[in-house]
């Protein structure tokens, strides 16, 4: 099969040939949605951990309450906390723990720091949404 690439396509292919991995799989909302959303530590558990949390005993209605940023963080944390202990070592919880460490400076997510992580997340969103590129 003969393919006639544009100049830009050729440059991209050459650049990618030098990369070990190209991973374009993501589930991020558009930037304007992401930066205008209310986030907190429980946002980190609003995607893949759903099935783990349900399997660990969380009721689906409680999961919806946990990920709803309009509810009070303390009440949502209390619903989440016992189930988190059952999923924390699974592969789907790992990205949240990595984010807590790499982006917000915490080695764990727990009763003692969930509020501070949430505050740092809000501050980060505010910084991003007020920065002009």
Task: Please check whether residue 27 lies inside any domain of the structure.
Answer: no
Task: Please check whether residue 15 lies inside any domain of the structure.
Answer: no
Question: Quick one: average pLDDT of 107-118?
Answer: 98
In DSSP notation, 4-70 reads: ---HHHHHHHHHHHT-S-------PPPHHHHHHS---GGGGGSSTHHHHHHHTT--HHHHHHHH-TT
Task: Please check whether residue 30 lies inside any domain of the structure.
Answer: no
Task: Please check whether residue 6 lies inside any domain of the structure.
Answer: no
How many domains, the chain? 1
Task: Please check whether residue 59 lies inside any domain of the structure.
Answer: yes
Q: Is the pTM of this model over 0.85?
A: no
Task: Please check whether residue 74 lies inside any domain of the structure.
Answer: yes
Its domain, for residue 52, covers: 41-127
Alpha-carbon Rg of the chain, whole angstroms?
19
Specify the DSSP class assigned to residue 84: H
Quick: pLDDT tens for 37-58.
889 999 999 988 999 999 999 9
Task: Please check whether residue 103 lies inside any domain of the structure.
Answer: yes
Task: Please check whether residue 31 lies inside any domain of the structure.
Answer: no
For the chain, the average pLDDT equals 90
């Amino acid at each position: 099969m003969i393919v006639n690439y544009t100049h830009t396509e050729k440059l991209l292919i050459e650049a990618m040939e030098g990369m070990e991995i190209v991973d374009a799989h993501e589930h991020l909302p558009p930037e304007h949605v992401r930066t205008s959303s209310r986030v907190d530590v429980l946002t980190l558990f609003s995607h893949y951990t759903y099935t783990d949390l349900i399997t660990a005993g969380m009721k689906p209605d409680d999961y919806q309450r946990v990920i709803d940023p309009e509810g009070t963080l303390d009440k949502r944390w209390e619903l989440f906390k016992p189930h988190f202990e059952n999923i924390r070592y699974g592969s789907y919880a790992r990205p949240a723990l990595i984010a807590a460490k790499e982006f917000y400076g915490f080695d764990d997510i727990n009763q003692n720091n969930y509020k501070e992580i949430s505050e740092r997340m809000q501050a980060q969103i505010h910084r991003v949404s007020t920065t002009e590129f």
